[in-house]
Structure 1
Amino acid sequence: MNLLPEHGMSALFLLHQKDLMQFLTYKVRCAETAADLTQETYLRIAHHPDAGNIENMRAYLFRIANNLALDYLRSQTRQNKRDAGPVTEDFICLQPEPDAALSDHQQLEFLEQIIYDLPPKCRAVFLMSRVEGKSYTEISDELAISPRTVESHMRKALELIRKQFD
């Protein structure tokens, strides 16, 4: 029998602490969890009433660490089953958040009001160009104005819209 006083157990634990951390990190694949489990291993031996009667303390430490790792992994498996597993792209809603949708809707209404408030020729030129995708030449033919006038109306419309947004 190897009778160790309590400070001897601490020294023995400190001697094997790095190896325990590596072992647990390998088992649970998370350094933070491994650190927690290493600390829990120490607490288990520190509160063990017959810790001084353990013949192979290193094996005992690794047995406790292994059992704690298994308990942790089992609890993670149960939690994943209970919670339907980790969140994946399949579960993520691709719709915008309600606040963002409301904000976008308000901005759209604001833009519609700005466009509605444009002078009639500017509004017509802007909508034909930006909404219908027509060229300045097509717009000039349709409205019976010169391409230079179309350009002027477009410049004025963009300037008025920019001022309203600023």
Structure 2
Amino acid sequence: MNIFPDQSLSSCFLQHQKDLMQFLTYKVQCAETATDLTQETYLRVARHRKADTIENMRAYLFRIANNLALDHLRSRARLLQRDAGPVTDDFICEAPEPESVLANRQQLEMLEQIIYGLPPKCREVFLMCRVEGKSHTEIGDALGISPRTVESHMRKALEQIRKQID
């Protein structure tokens, strides 16, 4: 039993099957998917009962194949949007261990003590530079000192912090 109501539609599909496969492979960038879509194109063509109303059978075949490829690409895009991929350790948000929280707090307290133990001008320059992110020129303008003096205060602050931490 022939599933095609019109033999010319069947022969048109067979004649252009290789071209359809190449077209779909280019469109979806996957040979296996292109094979599946070519088969689906065949099934769609096979269901068509009014082949005599088709003016350009080749164009009709490629329109079906293109629509199937677009549907596939849209569903893949939706899937990728919904599923960002496999869960890896990079995405897992683990609560820090209590010991590391305590150690970090102790380090922070020690660093605060060291910073507040600096001479007032060094401390002010250090905080403006490292906390507020100001440049040496901006700090100098704000404090009424030269950028070289700012550099000197920063050097002194960093040396004292390194000594205290070591």
TM-score normalized by the length of structure 2: 0.49
TM-score normalized by the length of structure 1: 0.49
